[in-house]
Amino acid sequence: MGQMISIDPVTRIEGHLRIDVEIEGGKVKDAWSSGTMFRGFEMLLKGKHPFDAQQVTERICGVCPLAHGTASSYNLDDALGVELPDNARLIRNLCLGANFIQSHILHFYHLAALDYVDVTAVLNYSGSDQALLLLKGKISKLAQANDLYPFMPRYDSGDYVSDPGLATTLVGHYVQAFEMRKKAHEMLSIFYGRVPSFVGTVPGGVTQPPTIGNVLAFRSRLSELRRWINEVYVEDIKTIAGVSAYKPFLTAGDSGGNYLAYGGFDEDSRGDKKFLPRGVIFGNDIMNVMPMDEKKLTESVAHSWYKEECEGLHPSEGKTEPDLEKKEGYSFIKSPRYNEKPMEVGPLARLLVKKPEMFVKLASDLGLLTMKPLQFGILPRHAARAIECKIIADEMDNWLNQLKPGDPIWDKKGIPSEARGRGLVEAARGALGHWIEISGKKIKNYQCIVPTTWNASPRDKNGNRGPIENSLVGVPVPDPDNPINVVRCVRSFDPCLACAIHIIHPDHNGVKAFRVV
Amino acid sequence: MMFVSTAEFTSCCGCLSSLLEVGEPLVSLLSEHSVSFSELVDFQDISPSDVTIVWGCIGDEEDERIANEVSRMSKKIIAAGSCAVYGGISARMQQLPSKERVPSSLSRFEPVDAYIPVDLYVPGCPPPGRILFEALKGTLEDYTPIHYDYTVCSECKRKCEKKHTGRWFKRNERIPVEGICFLDQGFLCMGPVTRGGCHASCTSRGAACIGCRGPSDTVLLSHLHSLYSDMLHYISISTTGKRAKPEKTLEEYIDLLYLFTLRDPVTKERPRERLPRTKEEK
């Protein structure tokens, strides 16, 4: 058996994730991903008024409340039989789009970029750009005080970008990104009041009508963001992807070639046509996108701390009943599967299904399309995120044009005494589904499958690893004391654990028991 | 230069997300000080710190252990968000029938000050970034941050009209008229009993207040000393001028009333000086 290392918690992600890897011959041989928190929001919702679901599920996660609120609204719309007015559909798209922008910027600059850039290189900057010199001054002050937080310390690596000019520019963008993210949130609050945990969408529509004033306010911020995404974000990704030392990461970290996208951003009122299309890809056969069949979704709990009777159910029938004594368990995350296969969700999956020109061109420039078998690793995942951010921001401008001030924003429907509904949307991190069963005008059952549940899921009953576990296998780790590549790989998925589950339990003996086995 | 830290218990990271909203002023403030431990940087071992912001409620033994350690290492502690201040949304677990509860090791869900002393409370789900930032800056620079003792109503720009006398409507039951008080239209709005400071961001975007900032000082210090009856009392006074009978629809509202401040029993049991208010009043 190779050497075991544990990273607990993986930092600079949202929530608590523990990764155990077995290293042999300088590479990861096997991996286990454990979500070590539990919150059980689904249990909270039983017996509640169906309209409360949206406010409660928004609080599942403070980074992507928009996605949950939107999924919950679509879920209720479906159960109530709402015919969504165009204005409401567009405003939901615009606000979800703004959330994508802020989330992608936050992830790349504030959570992931420091894995690739040597901040101390800023001290050697010799250029004449005033803003960068100011930044150099700030960082050298921190360095003199021997305190480079929040930039240091972290795992040491010989391959950080250390060219002073480039590194300084990138660190400068790290600081700019705070302001850009703030702009995206301002844009969102024009229609939704505030973020996180907004109020503006409700089952049946939205609460704030479009007016000339708020469309203008939205557009002015959007134009600034589009410019920044084009000129800074996308270019930075291309720069990092082009660094020769990072070439292995183009393919290392491939999750196994199964991709799933529920599709997002409806372009008609029934949601048949979507800006990001729905589809499934198996075994890296990216030219063969199959239609998605909702009946093939199941949740396995073979290695999760939930009771056996929760095994293999469709999410609309799903159960969430914890069982901490389970010997095979090592995570609070369930294992959702499509056709019994683990699926990667997120920007890479969405873009492989949609195949926008810009992404195809970049992939072919990087030589990814001629490889056999096809592999999409850590850097393509980051690149997909940036390009998606750009195409959504560009499309948002068109959606703004389609808003019609004065038209209805709400289709009011009463609550049926018995109904079922489901809301499938795309969140920044991947496919998000909410399912509801209403009985006696109350919630009988509410289940959510969030993107990180797909990506960070543990093994299922057939022993198939989850996508993050699978992607870690083969990642080079020359020095077991310095597992930087492991965290680079995990972070490229943008895991969000608050969504997936909650409650820290790092010392749970389930993990140890599993390791001995 | 002082050490600033953040610690997270059972939470959704919404408070962190809200703080980051502040942008440039936050970066400037942090470049003058030093971060000791935080989930946003790589370093998470708890070490001495001057000001620590904590978010999330205490969910299990591990949270309690971290809380005690944070308390030992930090000179001042700011409890941010409704989970840390009141138990928040997770504390609703306490309402579940006992057979549906999660195993006991996972079901505490209590406010932070049930375990460790707190110097400053910043309620809200999440609190607006600027209020959180102001609280941090004030604590670092030793001045008293603004105390938001007024209600959401005093910030709301909706006009009051004829008092509503019929039955109450659920939040999404019908389409509210723009620019007119929700209560006057028959929608239950938590404005009159909720702490302000949020610029009434929900009511100005067509949605009634759901009380995420928790009870106002008036409610907290009220003689009835039960959040539920207090809220009911003040809302009925500000609408009909009389104490309302708790009708069926209002009772259904209990979930929303308690969404953020569920721990009525806790508030009841807390000695008055431990009620979550800001520093200068303690």
Percentage above 70 pLDDT, chain A? 90
pLDDT value of position A392: 96
Q: Are A483 and A21 in contact (CB under 8 A)?
A: yes
Report d(CA A41, CA B175) in Å as an integer: 28
Task: Number of A to B CB contacts under 8 A, please give it.
Answer: 184
- Pick left, alpha or beta for residue B126 (phi over 0 → left; psi -120 to 50 → alpha; otherwise beta): beta
A193 and B207: CB-CB below 8 Å?
yes
Tell me which residue of A277, A269, A276 sits closest to A87, measured CA to CA.
A269
Helices (H) and strands (E) in chain B, counts: 10, 5
Percentage above 70 pLDDT, chain B? 71
Q: Are B228 and B264 in contact (CB under 8 A)?
A: yes
B126 and A197: CB-CB below 8 Å?
yes
* 3-state SS record for B114-156: HCCCCCEEECCCCCCHHHHHHHHHHHHHCCCCCCCCCEHHHHC
Kindly list the residues from chain A whose CB atom is less than 8 angstroms away from the CB atom of residue B34: 145, 147, 149
Q: Going by CATH, does the domain composed of A3-118+154-491 fall within 1.10.645.10?
A: yes
pLDDT value of position A485: 85
Residue B261 above 60 pLDDT? Answer: yes
Residue scoring higher pLDDT (B206 or A43): B206
Distance of residue A354 Cα from the nearest chain B Cα, in angstroms:
30
Q: What does DSSP assign to residue B33?
A: S
Q: Are B148 and B122 in contact (CB under 8 A)?
A: no
Q: Are B108 and B60 in contact (CB under 8 A)?
A: yes
- Pick left, alpha or beta for residue B276 (phi over 0 → left; psi -120 to 50 → alpha; otherwise beta): beta
Report d(CA A148, CA A151) in Å as an integer: 5
| CB nearest B93 (choices: A15, A44, A49) | A44
A52 and B128: CB-CB below 8 Å?
no
Give A198's contacts (C-beta < 8 A, 6+ positions apart).
A58, A65, A66, A69, A95, A188, A189, A192
Distance of residue B31 Cα from the nearest chain A Cα, in angstroms:
7
Q: Are A125 and A168 in contact (CB under 8 A)?
A: yes
| CB nearest A200 (choices: B35, B96, B207) | B207
Residue B40 above 90 pLDDT? Answer: no
Report d(CA A200, CA A208) in Å as an integer: 7
Report d(CA B126, CA A282) in Å as an integer: 40
What does each C-alpha distance from A10 to A468, A488, B6 come to in angstroms? 13, 10, 16
ipTM over 0.90: no
Report d(CA A422, CA A430) in Å as an integer: 17
pLDDT value of position A210: 92
Tell me which residue of A260, A307, A271, A318 sits closest to A449, measured CA to CA.
A318
Chain A residue with CA closest to B170: the answer is A51
| CB nearest A196 (choices: B10, B100, B126) | B126
Tell me which residue of A511, A516, A196, A186 sits closest to A330, measured CA to CA.
A511
pLDDT tens-digit profile of A388-423? 999 999 999 999 999 999 899 888 888 889 999 999
User: Cis peptide leading into A342, omega within 30 of 0?
Assistant: no
Chain A residue with CA closest to B204: the answer is A193
Q: Report the DSSP beta bridge partners of residue A34.
A: A18
A11 and B103: CB-CB below 8 Å?
no
Domain boundaries, chain A: 3-118+154-491
Chosen from A10, A42, A52, A325 to mutate, greatest number of chain B CBs within 10 A: A52
Residue A150 above 60 pLDDT? Answer: no
Q: What is the mean pLDDT of residues B230-252?
A: 61
Report d(CA B256, CA B210) in Å as an integer: 7
Residue B266 above 50 pLDDT? Answer: no
B255 and A12: CB-CB below 8 Å?
no
Q: What does DSSP assign to residue A230?
A: I
pLDDT value of position B225: 59
- For residue A189, the SS3 value is helix
Cα–chain-centroid distance for residue A209? Answer: 29
Q: Are A436 and A445 in contact (CB under 8 A)?
A: yes
B171 and A51: CB-CB below 8 Å?
yes
Kindly list the residues from chain B whose CB atom is less than 8 angstroms away from the CB atom of residue A491: none
- For residue A281, the SS3 value is strand
pTM (global) more than 0.95: no
What is the average pLDDT score of chain B?
77
Q: Are strands B120-122 and B74-80 parallel, antiparallel or unpaired?
A: parallel
Chain A residue with CA closest to B21: the answer is A182
Distance of residue A368 Cα from the nearest chain B Cα, in angstroms:
32
| CB nearest A150 (choices: B22, B35, B96) | B35
Kindly list the residues from chain B whose CB atom is less than 8 angstroms away from the CB atom of residue A155: 42
Q: What is the mean pLDDT of residues A490-508?
A: 55
Kindly list the residues from chain A whose CB atom is less than 8 angstroms away from the CB atom of residue B90: 39, 502
Report d(CA A77, CA A87) in Å as an integer: 15
| CB nearest A62 (choices: B10, B16, B23) | B16
A208 and B206: CB-CB below 8 Å?
yes
Kindly list the residues from chain B whose CB atom is less than 8 angstroms away from the CB atom of residue A95: none
Cα–chain-centroid distance for residue B20? Answer: 18
Count of C-beta atoms within a 10 Å radius of residue A195: 28
